[in-house]
A and B are shown apart, each in its own frame.
Chain A
Amino acid sequence: MEQAETTVNGNKPRWFAGLALLAVIWVAAYASLGAFADGMVRLLGLDPQSRLGDAVRFFFFDTPKVLLLLAGIVFVMGIVHTYVSAERTRDLLAGRRLGLGNVMAAGLGIVTPFCSCSAVPLFIGFLQAGVPLGVTFSFLISAPMVNEVALALLFGMFGWKVAALYLGLGLFVAIAAGLVIGELRMEHHLEDWVRALQSGQVVRRPAEEYTLPERIRAGFSHVKEIVGKVWPYMLGGIALGAGIHGYVPEDFMASIMGKGAWWAVPAAVAVGVPMYSNAAGIIPVVEALLAKGAALGTVLAFMMSVIALSLPEIIILRKVLKPRLIGVFVGVVSVGILLVGYVFNLVL
């Protein structure tokens, strides 16, 4: 570590200067969003007062705005990921009791790099190191559901309040579901081969060390990877929003997904659970539902159930969990999301 620090030291001021310059460009770009959108409307020779002009302005305002927010947040998270590895999170959670352990696990789920394809080795690795089952579940629920892409997109398209609500409620579901599963003491409902592995020795390897330039490069490559994957969905969502914005703001969905319909939340969760999509893919749908008068709680419950639970994920987890535990897992998370939807619709 020391050595790595000294070799980069010569370049450190330059890296910081580069970052500062990028930050200035970012802020300048963000500040000139309105001017850019107005300019585009004029450039296309549209009347800003017309419906088409309004829709076009919305599109050229929101696209760079959401892109900038996404790139900024994802860049920072790329750097954060070089500090928080799955191994470090596991060691932080090992031996924690239910309660505080669940809160920590849900929180760490936001910042720890996670891919649902490594859910199984992660799950076993956590148990092996002595992370309680309930705490492990809090992590496994929070990590895919409450992530920077979902938060950045919600923030960019629906404002910070919706993003903050999603963050808070996502953490609540992860903590509560983990607590319930922990209290049910279902350790013996793990598949036998998992229980055999569980008692095995934890193999530790030295944590990867990064120099400052490497961390910054990790930030950039994270942006490239995520924005490269997400932009078509994002554009789709904004285009849809622009269309709805400029034209008929009808309350089409209000009757079936509005606050009045008590069965809307369970229906949304029932439809959402088997569906498989990432946060980006679901955003255009959320945009359309909200704009058509669907209640926010119902829409957020739908979004959470799509991202947190899916058929492919259930199939993957079935390899390690016996049917009873899978059932409890799906049931508890669904009930949590259901509660969130109802409370939301009641309060707002």
Chain B
Amino acid sequence: MLHAYRGRKILLLNKENHVKDIKVLGSGCANCETTAKLIQEVAQAKGVEVAIEKVQDMAAILGYGVMSTPGVVIDGQVVHSGGVPDRKKVEGWLG
């Protein structure tokens, strides 16, 4: 299931100027909420279009190889795990 999923993401990655597909991995903890909000904020400030999805399913989270939540997945790539990311780091992803 996961593999099919990943294939789709790679297709998206090849398109220019696509909407960034962002997943916040976490079991609904406060840090995960903060992370999702931070990404939304930065995206808005930079005028980048994003689709943020919160992933709470444990199998899916582990499927990304993430053990420390919150984790962040952008277009199928894990870019961060363990704790709320730095604002600068988030700006880098959306830059």
A and B associate: yes
Residues of A participating in the B interface, judged by any CB pair closer than 8 Å: 85-87, 90, 113-115, 117-118, 120-122, 124-126, 128, 193, 197, 200, 202-205, 217, 221
Q: A118-B68, A121-B61, A122-B68 are in contact. List 4 more A-B contacts (CB 8 A).
A: A115-B29, A117-B30, A124-B62, A205-B64
Quick one: which of A85, A115, A197, A217 contacts B62, CB cutoff 8 A? A197
Q: A197-B58, A197-B59 are in contact. Are A118 and B82 (CB under 8 A)?
A: yes
Q: A124 near B83 (CB under 8 angstroms)?
A: no
Residue of B nearest to A197 (CB): B59
Q: A86 near B63 (CB under 8 angstroms)?
A: no
Q: A87-B67, A197-B59, A204-B65 are in contact. Are A121 and B27 (CB under 8 A)?
A: yes
Q: A115-B31, A197-B58, A205-B78 are in contact. Are A121 and B68 (CB under 8 A)?
A: yes
Q: How far is the CA of A221 from the CA of B64 in the complex (A)?
A: 26
Which chain A positions have C-beta within 8 A of B65?
87, 202-205
Q: How far is the CA of A115 from the CA of B66 in the complex (A)?
A: 14
Q: A90 near B83 (CB under 8 angstroms)?
A: no
Within 8 A of A (CB), among B47-75: 58-59, 61-69
* Complex A-B: 15 CB contacts under 8 Å: A86-B67, A86-B82, A87-B65, A115-B68, A115-B82, A120-B27, A121-B61, A121-B66, A122-B68, A124-B62, A193-B58, A197-B59, A203-B62, A203-B63, A203-B64
Q: How far is the CA of A193 from the CA of B57 in the complex (A)?
A: 12
Q: How far is the CA of A124 from the CA of B78 in the complex (A)?
A: 19
Quick one: which of A117, A126, A200 contacts B26, CB cutoff 8 A? A117
Q: A118 near B67 (CB under 8 angstroms)?
A: yes
Q: How far is the CA of A208 from the CA of B30 in the complex (A)?
A: 24
Q: How far is the CA of A202 from the CA of B64 in the complex (A)?
A: 9
Q: Max chain A CB contacts within 10 Å: which of B32, B78, B82?
A: B82
Instruction: Report the minimal beta-carbon distance from A30 to chain B, rounded to whole angstroms.
Output: 29
Q: B62 near A128 (CB under 8 angstroms)?
A: yes
Which chain A positions have C-beta within 8 A of B16?
none
Main secondary structure, interface of A, reads helix
Instruction: Report the minimal beta-carbon distance from A165 to chain B, rounded to whole angstroms.
Output: 30
Instruction: Report the minimal beta-carbon distance from A205 to chain B, rounded to whole angstroms.
Output: 4
Which chain A positions have C-beta within 8 A of B59?
197, 200
Q: How far is the CA of A120 from the CA of B68 in the complex (A)?
A: 9
Q: Max chain A CB contacts within 10 Å: which of B61, B64, B65, B67?
A: B67
Which chain B positions have C-beta within 8 A of A120?
27, 58
Instruction: Report the minimal beta-carbon distance from A199 to chain B, rounded to whole angstroms.
Output: 12
Quick one: which of B30, B64, B67 contacts A122, CB cutoff 8 A? B67
Instruction: Report the minimal beta-carbon distance from A59 to chain B, rounded to whole angstroms.
Output: 32
Quick one: which of A114, A121, A221 contacts B58, CB cutoff 8 A? A121
Q: How far is the CA of A85 from the CA of B78 in the complex (A)?
A: 15
Q: A117 near B62 (CB under 8 angstroms)?
A: no
Q: Max chain A CB contacts within 10 Å: which of B31, B58, B63, B69?
A: B58
Q: A117 near B58 (CB under 8 angstroms)?
A: no
Which chain B positions have C-beta within 8 A of A126?
67
Which chain B positions have C-beta within 8 A of A205?
64-65, 78
Return the CB mask of B19-38 against A: 1 if under 8 Å, else 0: 00000001101111000000
Q: A117 near B78 (CB under 8 angstroms)?
A: no
Q: How far is the CA of A200 from the CA of B62 in the complex (A)?
A: 10
